[in-house]
C-alpha cells in the first residue's frame, strides 16, 4: 500500500489558503494534516514528526517562512519543506534554501503542477519553478571555480549501497526494506548523495555516478 503524504500548509492569504485546502483535501494519496495562516499557529498545533511535507509561503506575518522551515526541521530534520511564494528574488530563494527548503515554487502554477511538485519532493526530487532556475544557474557560475578546486567528497559505503539501489529504480520503501533502515534514513542518504555529487534528481545522480566511477 502506498504511503500517504502527510502535508501541512501555511499561507497568510485566507482565500489562497482556502483554495489550497480544497485542492489537497480532494487529492488521493495526500492527507492534509493542518492548514494555518501563521507560522506561530503551525508551530503550536503541529507534531512535525507526523508530517512529511510542509508547503509554506515565505512572506508571513510574525515569523517568516524561512524561520518556520528552520524551526520545524529543528524538530523533525527529515521534514521536506517547499517554499511557495510570489517572490522570485535571489535573496528569498537562498534564505529558504539555507533554512532547509528542498523546493521553491512560485505562486500561479496550475493546480495539477502544484500537486505533482508535492509528490515529486516526497519521491526524492527537488521541485524548482523555472522562474527561479536562473538564480541557481547564476550561483553555480559564481561558485563553479571554487567547487572545481575543492577535493571531491567520497560517498560512504552505505551511501554507495543506497545509490546503486536508487539508480536501479528502487523506491524509498524498497531500499529501506532491503537495507533494514527507515524511509527517512534513506531520504537522508539520498540528500547527502545529491550534495556530494552536486545533482538534484535521480537521472542526474545516475549520470554523475557513472562519470565518477561509482557504478
The answer to pTM > 0.75 is no
Q: What is the CATH number of the domain that holds 198?
A: 1.10.10.10
Residue 202's domain comprises: 148-211
Statement to judge: residues 107 and 16 lie in one domain? yes
Which cell numbers in the block locate residue 169?
529504480
CB neighbours (10 Å) of residue 6? 16
Statement to judge: residues 126 and 181 lie in one domain? no
Statement to judge: residues 166 and 89 lie in one domain? no
Q: How far apart are CA 100 and CA 97, in angstroms?
A: 5
Give the domain-ending residue among 67, 97, 131: 131
Averaged pLDDT for residues 97-111: 86
Statement to judge: residues 104 and 158 lie in one domain? no
Cβ 157 vs Cβ 164: under 8 Å: no
Statement to judge: residues 9 and 52 lie in one domain? yes
Statement to judge: residues 153 and 179 lie in one domain? yes
Statement to judge: residues 73 and 104 lie in one domain? yes
- What are the strands of the beta sheet with 53-56, ordered from one edge? 30-36, 5-10, 53-56, 80-85, 103-106
Q: What is the CATH number of the domain that holds 99?
A: 3.40.50.2300
Statement to judge: residues 16 and 97 lie in one domain? yes
Domain annotation covers residue 141: no
| Cα first-last separation, the chain | 31
Is residue 95 predicted with pLDDT exceeding 90? no
Is residue 72 predicted with pLDDT exceeding 90? yes
pLDDT at residue 18, rounded to an integer? 96
pLDDT at residue 165, rounded to an integer? 86
Cβ 53 vs Cβ 80: under 8 Å: yes
Domain annotation covers residue 55: yes
Statement to judge: residues 39 and 11 lie in one domain? yes
The residue among 40, 24, 42, 44 whose CA lies nearest residue 32 is 24
Domain annotation covers residue 10: yes
Give me the number of domains the chain comprises.
2
Give the domain-ending residue among 131, 159, 178: 131
Statement to judge: residues 166 and 103 lie in one domain? no
Is residue 97 predicted with pLDDT exceeding 50? yes
pLDDT band at 96 (very low <50, low <70, confident <90, very high): confident
Amino acid at each position: 500500500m502506498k504511503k500517504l503524504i502527510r502535508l501541512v500548509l501555511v499561507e497568510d492569504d485566507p482565500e489562497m489558503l482556502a483554495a489550497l485546502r480544497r485542492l489537497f483535501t480532494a487529492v488521493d494519496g495526500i492527507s492534509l494534516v493542518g492548514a494555518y495562516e501563521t507560522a506561530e499557529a503551525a508551530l503550536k498545533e503541529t507534531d512535525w514528526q507526523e508530517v512529511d511535507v510542509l508547503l509554506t509561503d515565505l512572506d508571513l506575518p510574525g515569523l517568516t517562512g524561512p524561520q518556520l522551515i528552520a524551526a520545524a526541521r529543528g524538530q523533525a530534520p527529515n521534514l521536506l519543506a517547499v517554499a511557495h511564494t510570489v517572490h522570485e528574488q535571489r535573496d528569498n530563494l537562498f534564505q529558504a534554501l539555507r533554512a532547509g527548503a528542498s523546493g521553491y515554487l512560485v505562486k500561479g502554477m496550475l493546480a495539477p503542477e502544484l500537486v505533482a511538485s508535492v509528490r515529486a519532493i516526497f519521491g526524492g526530487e527537488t521541485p524548482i519553478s523555472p522562474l527561479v532556475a536562473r538564480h541557481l544557474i547564476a550561483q553555480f557560475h559564481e561558485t563553479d571555480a571554487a567547487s572545481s578546486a575543492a577535493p571531491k567528497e567520497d560517498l560512504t559505503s552505505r551511501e554507495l549501497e543506497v545509490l546503486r539501489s536508487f539508480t536501479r529504480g528502487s523506491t524509498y520503501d524498497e531500499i529501506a526494506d532491503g537495507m533494514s533502515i527507515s524511509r527517512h534514513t534513506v531520504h537522508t542518504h539520498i540528500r547527502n548523495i545529491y550534495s556530494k555529487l552536486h545533482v538534484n534528481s535521480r537521472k542526474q545522480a545516475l549520470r554523475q555516478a557513472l562519470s565518477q566511477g561509482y557504478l
